[in-house]
Amino acid sequence: MENTGKKISRKTLNKSFHHWFYGHLTAFSQEHMQTFGYLTSMLPIVEELYDNKEDQEKAMKTYTAFFNTEPQLGSIIVGITASLEEARANDGHVDDATINGLRAGLMGPIAGIGDSLVVGTLIPVILGIALGMSDGGSPLGAIFYIIVWNLLGYFGMRFAYFKGYELGDKAVGILVGAQGKAIRKAIATVGGMVVGGVAATWVTVKTSFTLRNGSGKAYLVLQDKLDSVYPGLLTAAFIVLCWWLMAKKNISPIKVMLILVVVALIGVLTGFFNPGLKY
Amino acid sequence: MENTGKKISRKTLNKSFHHWFYGHLTAFSQEHMQTFGYLTSMLPIVEELYDNKEDQEKAMKTYTAFFNTEPQLGSIIVGITASLEEARANDGHVDDATINGLRAGLMGPIAGIGDSLVVGTLIPVILGIALGMSDGGSPLGAIFYIIVWNLLGYFGMRFAYFKGYELGDKAVGILVGAQGKAIRKAIATVGGMVVGGVAATWVTVKTSFTLRNGSGKAYLVLQDKLDSVYPGLLTAAFIVLCWWLMAKKNISPIKVMLILVVVALIGVLTGFFNPGLKY
Amino acid sequence: MENTGKKISRKTLNKSFHHWFYGHLTAFSQEHMQTFGYLTSMLPIVEELYDNKEDQEKAMKTYTAFFNTEPQLGSIIVGITASLEEARANDGHVDDATINGLRAGLMGPIAGIGDSLVVGTLIPVILGIALGMSDGGSPLGAIFYIIVWNLLGYFGMRFAYFKGYELGDKAVGILVGAQGKAIRKAIATVGGMVVGGVAATWVTVKTSFTLRNGSGKAYLVLQDKLDSVYPGLLTAAFIVLCWWLMAKKNISPIKVMLILVVVALIGVLTGFFNPGLKY
Amino acid sequence: MTISWLQASILGIFASLSSMPGMAGSTIGNYTLGRPLVGGLVCGLILGDLKMGIAAGVAMQLVYIALVTPGGTVSADVRAVSYIGIPLAMVAIHSQGLAATSANAADLAKSMGTLVGTVGTVLFYGTATMNLVWQHMGWRAVERGEFRKLYAVDWGYPWISHLIFSFIPTVLMTHFGSSAVQALKTALPMDGIPMKTLFTVGALLPCVGIAILLKQIVDGPVDFIPFFVGFTFAASLKLNLVSVTVVSLIFAMISYKLDMAINTNRQAAPANTGGTVDDEEDEDI
Amino acid sequence: MTISWLQASILGIFASLSSMPGMAGSTIGNYTLGRPLVGGLVCGLILGDLKMGIAAGVAMQLVYIALVTPGGTVSADVRAVSYIGIPLAMVAIHSQGLAATSANAADLAKSMGTLVGTVGTVLFYGTATMNLVWQHMGWRAVERGEFRKLYAVDWGYPWISHLIFSFIPTVLMTHFGSSAVQALKTALPMDGIPMKTLFTVGALLPCVGIAILLKQIVDGPVDFIPFFVGFTFAASLKLNLVSVTVVSLIFAMISYKLDMAINTNRQAAPANTGGTVDDEEDEDI
Amino acid sequence: MTISWLQASILGIFASLSSMPGMAGSTIGNYTLGRPLVGGLVCGLILGDLKMGIAAGVAMQLVYIALVTPGGTVSADVRAVSYIGIPLAMVAIHSQGLAATSANAADLAKSMGTLVGTVGTVLFYGTATMNLVWQHMGWRAVERGEFRKLYAVDWGYPWISHLIFSFIPTVLMTHFGSSAVQALKTALPMDGIPMKTLFTVGALLPCVGIAILLKQIVDGPVDFIPFFVGFTFAASLKLNLVSVTVVSLIFAMISYKLDMAINTNRQAAPANTGGTVDDEEDEDI
Ligand SMILES: OC[C@H]1O[C@H](O)[C@@H](O)[C@@H](O)[C@@H]1O
Ligand SMILES: OC[C@H]1O[C@H](O)[C@@H](O)[C@@H](O)[C@@H]1O
Ligand SMILES: OC[C@H]1O[C@H](O)[C@@H](O)[C@@H](O)[C@@H]1O
């Protein structure tokens, strides 16, 4: 690897970004979630930076490690590695382990932030507004959502990618340095509160358990009692239960879901749950 | 206070629990709701832990602060302080302010939970079942209620008390650790906010002062004006007044109460206060 | 600014007070409610404290920021700044930002209290008594009101002003001490939040844009949609827009106002704005 | 059917045991004996007509099934409902010759319950107010270190309050019948000065309790801040106590981290005392 | 009864003094002369029928007794009520031969008051809008350091606004009677472009004032946070200003302790500058 | 209304594009085409009843509005909801003659959506599992340095997975399902155990999604605090999500400044480790 002042062309960066924009999840498996999306995204860059087949192979090997993050915000990671790869091509100071340490270190927090703030908040908010425009079967809302979200999504990802490329090493400083840690914790605070808000706003677990006297008047509506203790108590309890099963008892999400099916069935049979819907 | 590894005997704990079980509300007044119940409950413990009269007095002083919660569930708080008192007798790391901060911080939410779930839900449920057994004047329902509720009540409170004692032990570990002071301050924050909430929820001072025009329509309802400045203004003002009289003017609570009686009388005579009740 | 132990003379303070007493609202506009009253009130003080023209200009600049409060009770704020200005003339420890943070932090709550208690309660009470004296067209009531209210108003405001001046002195001690900077930042926090509250309470920008279906039923009320995104969105947006034009685009307030006039006209013509008033 | 002095006295004892602050502890007293269903059983046994007692108790229990008394706020007094209301209802039902379990009997019982239930709140406030006397004795005992006297204060003396506000009213009213209830209402009208003052004092007194608590928590003006923020959350935003506690946790967390930050710092600079943050300073703002 | 040009002119002067932003200061002007009760006295004296003036004033005062104008939000204009409404009411009562203190007279007065009260809000917005011109002159004076001109701006020039929006309308309307009021309403309909724009501008202008304040408080995006949190508390949670202030105190307390912690720290590590927290960094996030 | 082979095939293509791992990339695919609101528009266009499509989409969107799939954990499959559920719901609504925007139609749509949504998770796991085959081919290409083959692996071969797990099931179910739909209503009444359970599961499943999210954020009990404060703001105070976010910013700001203060401090006292604040401690409270 010679230090020849190589620079990735704008065209190639664009190509790399679009590969990521399109292909980050297309070949998803439970085993190697976004690895192939990452590989196809780095390929144009590696091909441009290294003429030598061997060097190419060495570079590509770096990106065969498991990768998964929230794809929208995650563009910044791809941008960062683009610039690190460029640096490696020039003087070789950056090595394999550094790049992968970085990827591994970033993909977790960025998945947490992205899933909470992009998929868990931004999209529901836009959808919420759009739903308000769909009264009487109007297509306005859907069109609004398609336009607004895709503009935000495309240009947001683009911005993140190129910001990552620009900042490169510096981005790492910001994201994982001393200040970075403080920023991530600050963002995690927002994430935590917003996810709490999302849970209270969009998730609703209610019991239909009611005691009636002889003349049919309800003298105990359990749901009201529970809400008078803490509004949304049942919802919060079920979420914490699921968290506990998965985080503390190491039960897989699939099994937790099956448990919920059983809980639902028992609840329905005992009259604890009753969606009360009609055709 | 010497560090002699003192431990409250099972017998004394039992005594303390039964004092609470029986006497939590017997000497109730609007001013010091459950304080005397608490004092009699802590007395056996304090007597066992401290031989020295002076130490006993110091310990008992802690429990002279206002206390009120839902008594059933509240047993857990008494249990916790039992174990904190034990820790204080041993090494003196736990102090007055911490114990009272904890009591203040816990009494609010536990009253909220207990009133809703024990008194507002559990009892009506058992009563509801019992009512169903009382058809045609059968004594079965009443007997059922007496047995089921008292078993649940007695053993539930017992369980809560001893659970609290256990938890207190763990709490002590945290409270006296390296971060102890920081945690104690954190507890004081919770205590302060909860007492504020308690004041706004349980205490209601309202004026009935109203100005009416010739045709009897009220054109100035003072209470509404005050609430538009700050909701609960009068309540907050009276509490701060009492605090100021006692803390800054060194007036004893008894005298403050007498002052309030005079204030009430004058207020009633001038039409400032009027509970507006009817038989 | 030299440290010469300057002190505002009693005569000048009196002058300053009377300027405020008379002129707080005379030049009122929707844009700069009481700012000019404040400026004329501070002018005698600034002229006495600083001989140097430059220093005068620097000092006066502080009071060009938007100001509005309930004028009677608000005298206290003017008194406080009088004494802060004095302190600034002496050692320069008090700065611009602190004075404005304080003014911003105080004007909100004092407006709330004053509007409710002075204008909403005290005046109606005196008026109520006066009305009772006006039976059969008697001038007694009106004369009673004129005398009582003006005495209360004049001496009350005077008291508030000089009380503020006194308090300010104490405040200065705190503001310039070792913890001064931390306190000033704390005041800025209050100031920021109160200004937010003031904006949401006093400023209301609403759109009347509505889409109706054939039968005249509104199926899209834009204002409701915007509020469901974030209550007060339009108000906040206009404020941020004005801030951006002035702070980032360096457009003078006058031009911003002209822009708003144009915006209003276009808005009215297009049906975006409609105050919807009637005689 | 008439109620003898003996029967009336037994009812009076049950009234003392079952009231809110009653002499049997809330579990056995207020929450068991105080419930009209149980009161019906007891009254039925005392007056010798179990079936009618139960039936009247059931009718009244339905009205008060969800009775909660948060913070000592008593909207209806169960001692009066169960041990004045039920007996009087039984007498009335009997004298009108209604069937014990008929709907008419139930309605009569319910209206009697409501009548005495509100009258009873006077008894509640009376008891609680008189207890102040014993509490006063208690404080002096605490001051002097005579702790054993606390047992008398908590378990003994309040019987005197109940003699006056539970036993005697119950005995008189059940023995002399509903005319006695009426007499009480005329003697102590709710819109008279004494009753108005009693209830106003009842509303003001909790301020003292809270203030005593504040005295322990508040040192300087800054310590009032959490109190007022909590007050605002509950009073202006109508947050309940559990929600207030949840919100307070984030401030507790911040306080903890802050103090840890200051701590470490102090350890790092033990010699540097001028201008450092310490607790005294915190509280002097 | 007719109103001469002289009488009308005196009424016009009182209208100028008593309006919201009036020329007599709010204590003497708006809150004294502006109250219909006082207006009745004044009008009675001017028109020579004290009793009728007071009676009409009393009637109108009852309607507007709790008038508050928070943040310059004027729902009814007292200059119009007191110095156009009362005189016109007196003329009408007189011409209909009603007794001064009769109920019919009072009703007539009230309806006249309501009519001109809302018309008057136009006068309020007119005055306030025209004052922008003098304020503009004021800002130029401030820029040039000609501070003495501020007195003219605050005390003198606004008379011109009042000449146009208080004096002339009052003179014309009281002299020519209620037909003139009607004429104004037809000339400037509330649903016409000019009035709509005037009121819309009135609603938009406070944004500039707040924005100027923000300019002084806000340096970077982070400084917007307290502003928006305060905004949210007031707009979404409907907290009033006092409550917002109370809640803000806990954040102020945290801010204070935080800065003290950072401070001490900085003193403890004076040499260690690389990577330490300092204000610049705080604000650059 | 029936669904032709052609219509069914177009639906199948959209199902392939919009599923989680879908062929249109997550921005355009899963997050746009996969949302039931957009699915409603598309199905409405394909089946020629735009209004009914949108109405059904809106009803289903409300159920799945907070759908997050962290780490590929899919609690409900949008391809099935949007491109099997909506078409079948439309057929059912049509055949029962319900008005497109009626409440009954919406409930019917929801039941159809929940039914296929949970069943559809099977399709997701099928697709992802089959992709292992192509990935296996990919690894061999990498080993051999034939990097260009990666494009086929990432962009091409997965179509085969979708042919089997998205296209074919969609085509078959929408084409043949229409006749079966009729039977559904009778076979599975809304007040029967299966439907009730299904809907209850639908309400419970989002808890899993949120919990998975929490697992990423929460390490110790203290990390639950922001979550519960946010929950309280939304549940007790009815703050909407934007307002919750605004309020959370001030806590984020405090957290940032706090961590920076702690940081600096740690640098200032590198040797002093006993009793210093560090993250481990923070999280162990
Ligand atoms: O609200 C807490 C608590 O307050 C008082 O002590 C009594 O009214 C109890 O019944 C109640 O449970
Ligand atoms: O609300 C504060 C203040 O705002 C404006 O200055 C006027 O409307 C005053 O009457 C009011 O007191
Ligand atoms: O959690 C990170 C990430 O994991 C997988 O890649 C998918 O489920 C994405 O939707 C998600 O954003």
Atom number, ligand 2, closest to the C-alpha of residue C202 = 1
Tens of pLDDT, residues D13-30: 999 999 988 999 999 999
Better-scored residue on pLDDT, F10 or A124:
F10
**In-domain check, residue A279:** no
Residue F278 predicted with pLDDT over 50: no
Is the same domain home to C152 and C214?
no
Is the same domain home to E134 and E236?
no
Q: Within 13 Å and on the Cβ side, how many CA atoms surround F208? A: 24
**In-domain check, residue F137:** yes
Q: Do A230 and D66 count as a contact with CB atoms less than 8 A apart?
A: no
Tens of pLDDT, residues C103-159: 988 998 898 888 888 888 889 889 988 988 898 889 999 999 999 999 999 999 999
Give the ligand at the shortest distance from the Cα of B115. Answer: 1
Q: Do B116 and A229 count as a contact with CB atoms less than 8 A apart?
A: yes
**In-domain check, residue D281:** no
Tens of pLDDT, residues A95-104: 888 888 888 7
Point out the domain boundary residue: D173, D201, D217: D217
Tens of pLDDT, residues B146-172: 999 999 999 999 999 999 999 988 887
**In-domain check, residue F71:** yes
Is the same domain home to E249 and E196?
no
**In-domain check, residue F79:** yes
Point out the domain boundary residue: A154, A170, A197: A197
- Mean pLDDT for the stretch of residues D123-132: 92
Give the ligand at the shortest distance from the Cα of B113. Answer: 1
Separation in Å, CA of B278 to nearest CA in chain A: 26
CB < 8 Å to E245, chain D = none
Helix or strand run (H / E) with residue B219: strand B218-221
Name the residue of B31, B32, B68 whose CB sits within 8 Å of the most ligand 1 atoms, as the mutation to test its pocket: B68
| pLDDT for residue C177 | 64
Point out the domain boundary residue: B147, B166, B197: B197
Is the same domain home to C183 and C225?
no
Q: Do residues D44 and D87 lie in contact, with contact meaning Cβ atoms separated by under 8 Å?
A: no
Strands A218-221 and B210-212, by their bridges, are unpaired
Q: Do residues D53 and D47 lie in contact, with contact meaning Cβ atoms separated by under 8 Å?
A: yes
**In-domain check, residue A159:** yes
Is the same domain home to F162 and F231?
no
Interface test with F, best of E222, E227, E236 (most F CBs within 10 A): E236
Question: Nearest-CA residue of chain B relative to F285?
Answer: B174
Tell me, rounded to whole angstroms, the distance of Cα A239 from its chain centroid. Answer: 19
| Structural domain that includes position A264 | 205-270
Is the same domain home to E97 and E162?
yes
- Of E204, D236, E236, the residue nearest C197 (C-alpha): E236
For the Cβ of C117 lying below 6 angstroms from any atom of ligand 2, the answer is no
**In-domain check, residue C3:** no
Is the same domain home to F88 and F182?
yes
Binding-face residues of F in 244-263 toward C, CB within 8 A: 246
If one counts the domains in chain E, the total is: 2
**In-domain check, residue B226:** yes
For the Cβ of E48 lying below 6 angstroms from any atom of ligand 2, the answer is no
Q: How far apart are CA A171 and CA A162, in angstroms?
A: 11
Is the same domain home to F206 and F236?
no
| pLDDT for residue F275 | 38
- Of F211, E234, D55, the residue nearest A195 (C-alpha): F211
- Of B240, E29, F242, B182, the residue nearest A194 (C-alpha): F242
| pLDDT for residue D108 | 84
For the Cβ of D274 lying below 6 angstroms from any atom of ligand 1, the answer is no
Residue C279 predicted with pLDDT over 90: no
Is the same domain home to E233 and E144?
no
Tokens in use for A41? 């995204």
Residues 6+ apart with CB under 8 A from B148: B126, B130
Name the residue of D31, D64, D69 whose CB sits within 8 Å of the most ligand 1 atoms, as the mutation to test its pocket: D69
What's this model's pTM, rounded to 2 decimal places? Answer: 0.81
What is the four-CA torsion angle of F93, F94, F100, F103, rounded to 10 degrees?
Answer: -30
| Structural domain that includes position F101 | 5-217
| pLDDT for residue F267 | 59
Q: How far apart are CA A157 and CA A140, in angstroms?
A: 25
Q: Do residues A28 and F134 lie in contact, with contact meaning Cβ atoms separated by under 8 Å?
A: no
Point out the domain boundary residue: F181, F202, F217: F217
Q: Do residues B16 and B78 lie in contact, with contact meaning Cβ atoms separated by under 8 Å?
A: yes
For the Cβ of B110 lying below 6 angstroms from any atom of ligand 1, the answer is no
**In-domain check, residue F277:** no
Tens of pLDDT, residues A200-230: 987 889 999 998 877 778 888 999 989 988 9
Name the residue of E64, E67, E69, E131 whose CB sits within 8 Å of the most ligand 2 atoms, as the mutation to test its pocket: E69
Is the same domain home to F210 and F225?
no
CA–CA distances in Å: residue F126 to residues A31, F121, F131, F132? 13, 9, 9, 10
Q: How far apart are CA E94 and CA E100, in angstroms?
A: 8
For the Cβ of E71 lying below 6 angstroms from any atom of ligand 2, the answer is yes
Is the same domain home to B176 and B62?
yes
- Which chains does A contact via 3+ CB–CB distances below 8 A? B, C, D, E, F
Point out the domain boundary residue: B159, B180, B197: B197
Is the same domain home to B117 and B217?
no
Q: How far apart are CA E165 and CA F103, in angstroms?
A: 56
**In-domain check, residue F236:** yes
| pLDDT for residue C162 | 96
- Of C114, C125, D191, the residue nearest B210 (C-alpha): C125
**In-domain check, residue A67:** yes
Residue C112 contacts B, CB cutoff 8 Å: yes
Is the same domain home to C139 and C225?
no
If one counts the domains in chain B, the total is: 2
Is the same domain home to B115 and B248?
no
Q: Do E285 and A183 count as a contact with CB atoms less than 8 A apart?
A: yes
**In-domain check, residue B1:** no
Helix or strand run (H / E) with residue B220: strand B218-221
Point out the domain boundary residue: F155, F185, F217: F217
CB < 8 Å to E58, chain C = 131, 134, 141
Q: Do D240 and A213 count as a contact with CB atoms less than 8 A apart?
A: no
- Of the candidates A28, A39, A186, the beta carbon closest to that of F150 is on A39
**In-domain check, residue E166:** yes
Is the same domain home to C19 and C120?
yes
**In-domain check, residue A186:** yes
Is the same domain home to C184 and C246?
no
Is the same domain home to F267 and F138?
no
**In-domain check, residue E282:** no
Is the same domain home to D166 and D47?
yes
Is the same domain home to B266 and B136?
no
Binding-face residues of B in 209-228 toward C, CB within 8 A: 211, 213, 219-220, 222, 225-226, 228
Residue D270 contacts C, CB cutoff 8 Å: no
For the Cβ of F69 lying below 6 angstroms from any atom of ligand 3, the answer is yes
Tens of pLDDT, residues C209-230: 988 877 777 777 889 878 887 8
Atom number, ligand 3, closest to the C-alpha of residue F72 = 8
Residue D219 contacts B, CB cutoff 8 Å: no
- Which chains does D contact via 3+ CB–CB distances below 8 A? A, B, C, E, F
For the Cβ of C111 lying below 6 angstroms from any atom of ligand 2, the answer is yes
For the Cβ of F72 lying below 6 angstroms from any atom of ligand 3, the answer is yes
Tens of pLDDT, residues E228-273: 999 999 999 999 999 999 999 999 999 998 888 877 665 554 443 3
Is the same domain home to C80 and C96?
yes
For the Cβ of E97 lying below 6 angstroms from any atom of ligand 2, the answer is no
Q: Do D66 and A229 count as a contact with CB atoms less than 8 A apart?
A: no
Is the same domain home to F235 and F199?
no
Is the same domain home to A184 and A209?
no
Binding-face residues of F in 8-37 toward E, CB within 8 A: none
For the Cβ of E69 lying below 6 angstroms from any atom of ligand 2, the answer is yes
Tokens in use for D229? 């923020």
**In-domain check, residue C278:** no
- Mean pLDDT for the stretch of residues B242-262: 90
Is the same domain home to A155 and A91?
yes
Predicted confidence band of residue D267 (pLDDT cuts 50, 70, 90): low
Interface test with D, best of B17, B25, B61, B175 (most D CBs within 10 A): B25
